A = this chain, B = another copy of it.
Amino acid sequence: MFKQAHRLEIILPDWLGAFAQGYASTADLTKRMEFVIAAARMNVVEKSGGPFAAAIFESDSGNLVALGVNLVTGQGLSILHAEIVAIALAQRKLGGYDLGGRAMPSHDLFASTEPCAMCLGAIPWSGVRRLVTAACDEDARAIGFDEGDKPDDWVASLVGRGIETITSVGRRQAAEVLRFYADGLGVIYNAREG
């Protein structure tokens, strides 16, 4: 007989909470990104997933709301890109599906690599008002990751939806993490093996 689960539980890596406590709020976007890139590197070292991290910050204060890392291989779910994890953790923490609600401060999504097609599509639904990225699509593609079919000018698409977008903040360091993963023979978990 068909049996459906009653819940879906996603377990975060043990190291993540302690790591996040090392962050000190800052108005400096580059410093915020350095923290996110360090989390991506830690995810590789700890072998908890792909070489990607993302975080939700309050835009002005720089206070950290949630830190996510890629958990595709670690949790066995293809949807668990770092941005998706960060958005979900932040919404759960703040109690609702809209990080841009009327009574809320503005929120940023920082991502250590430009978003794939899925995460790009998730951003407008999340309520964030700003996206800041480090490594570029071509850096991810250079180690074999597929970014999916994005609109040609995806930055303009976000800006047109009122989401400020700043790219290539800390690109060199983030691209190094991608190469570090590839050099360690990390799994490039693109679509469909069979």
Contact = CB atoms under 8 A, between A and B. Distances in A.
Nearest to A66: B4
A89 B4 CA distance: 8
A193 B125 contact: no
A186 interface: no
Contacts of A89: 4-5, 8
B77 A88 contact: yes
10 contacts: A2-B23, A8-B92, A73-B97, A77-B88, A78-B125, A98-B193, A118-B118, A124-B146, A125-B148, A149-B154
Given A117-B124, A125-B191, 14 more contacts: A2-B20, A4-B16, A8-B88, A9-B10, A76-B92, A76-B95, A77-B91, A97-B189, A100-B193, A116-B121, A118-B121, A125-B148, A127-B191, A129-B192
